[in-house]
Amino acid sequence: MSAKDEWPPISPYKTGLRGLCPRCGQGHLFNGFLALRKECEVCGLDYSFADPADGPAFFVMCFACVPSVIFALWLEVVYSAPLWVHLVTTLPLMLLTCVPPLRPLKGWLVASQFFYKAEEGRLDVSRS
């Protein structure tokens, strides 16, 4: 049986968002909150291929931080809110909208790299 028959492709959404191994869908992807494991404890997939870089932070900044900052600015302009109001409203809002999505987004990006066999670009010098 070939490796392709042993491990059917699994959607990156099913595995990555739940923090599971992109190959077998059973092992864990993370060792802690955002640190990747060295390999899957079930199928032995080496996670050294994974490099999501700043992707999760970029998505969170675009889709969570910007609305939170807009809310803080609106609160300040409309109500001239004192600092304690920002600490009670804006700070928790930013923490709740920015920190929790990091792990599922990182898992999705790693699983997508595996699923689509993404790798670093290389120059083809034979064509020159």
**Residues pairing with 30 in the sheet:** 36
Give domain status of residue 125, yes or no: no
**pLDDT for 103:** 96
- Asked if the model's pLDDT at residue 16 lies above 80, the reply is yes
Kindly tell me the sign of the dihedral angle through the C-alpha atoms of 13, 19, 20, 22: positive
- Please check whether residue 128 lies inside any domain of the structure: no
Domain tally, the chain: 1
Confidence of residue 79 (pLDDT cuts 50, 70, 90): very high
Give me the chain's average pLDDT, please: 91
Three-class secondary structure of residue 9 per DSSP:
coil
Q: Which two tokens stand for residue 21?
A: 């191994």
Query: Once rounded to an integer, what is the mean pLDDT over residues 34-51?
Result: 94
Q: Two tokens at 41?
A: 């404890």
Per-residue pLDDT of 103-128, as tens digits, reads 999 999 999 999 999 888 888 888 76
5 pLDDT more than 70: no
Domain extent at residue 16:
3-119
SS3 20: strand
2 pLDDT more than 60: no
Q: What is the pLDDT of residue 6?
A: 81
* pLDDT at 1 (0 to 100): 39
- 115 contacts: CB under 8 Å, gap ≥ 6: 9, 10, 11, 12, 22
**Is 126 among the domain residues?**
no
